[in-house]
């Protein structure tokens, strides 16, 4: 398991990007639960946030948004519900949260595009 952050470093209704062994990912907390996804839009294979942006949520904090072409994804499933990749999915990553914080439990296996 790879430690990502303390639980309070990912407050409710926020997102945060991480890098583990060259794997780029992000976490989102919604309704008390943390979700982890590979930080790659299925449309073009690029990171979801813009260069100066660390948040991957839309202004309402209800959906994950790709800053490059406006694709919108459901937080709890990663399904794209609007945009050029509608019907595709973000790659979910397994995580565990305990009293020490948030952990990536799936082995980090970055692809060449993540490097």
DSSP secondary structure letters along 30-73? ETTEEEEEES--TTTS--SS-TT----B-TTSSEEE-TTT--EE
Specify the pTM: 0.87
pLDDT in tens, 22-58: 899 999 999 999 999 999 999 888 888 876 667 789 9
In a 13 Å sphere around the CA of 23, the CA atoms on its Cβ side amount to: 19
> How far is 82 from 98, CA to CA, in rounded Å?
34
Residue 18 pLDDT > 60: yes
- Fold of the CATH domain 2-108: Rieske Iron-sulfur Protein (2.102.10)
Domain ranges of the chain: 2-108
Residue 8 pLDDT > 60: yes
């Amino acid at each position: 398991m790879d430690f990502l952050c303390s639980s309070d470093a990912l407050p409710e209704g926020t997102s945060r990007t991480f890098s583990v062994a060259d794997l780029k990912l992000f976490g989102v907390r919604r309704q008390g639960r943390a979700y982890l996804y590979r930080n790659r839009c299925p449309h073009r294979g690029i990171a979801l946030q813009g260069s100066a942006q660390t948040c991957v949520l839309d202004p309402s904090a209800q959906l994950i948004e790709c800053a490059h072409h406006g694709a919108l994804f459901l937080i709890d499933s990663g399904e794209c519900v609007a945009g050029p990749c509608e019907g595709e999915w973000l790659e979910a990553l397994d995580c565990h949260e305990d009293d020490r914080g948030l952990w990536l439990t799936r082995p980090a296996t970055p692809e060449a595009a993540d490097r």
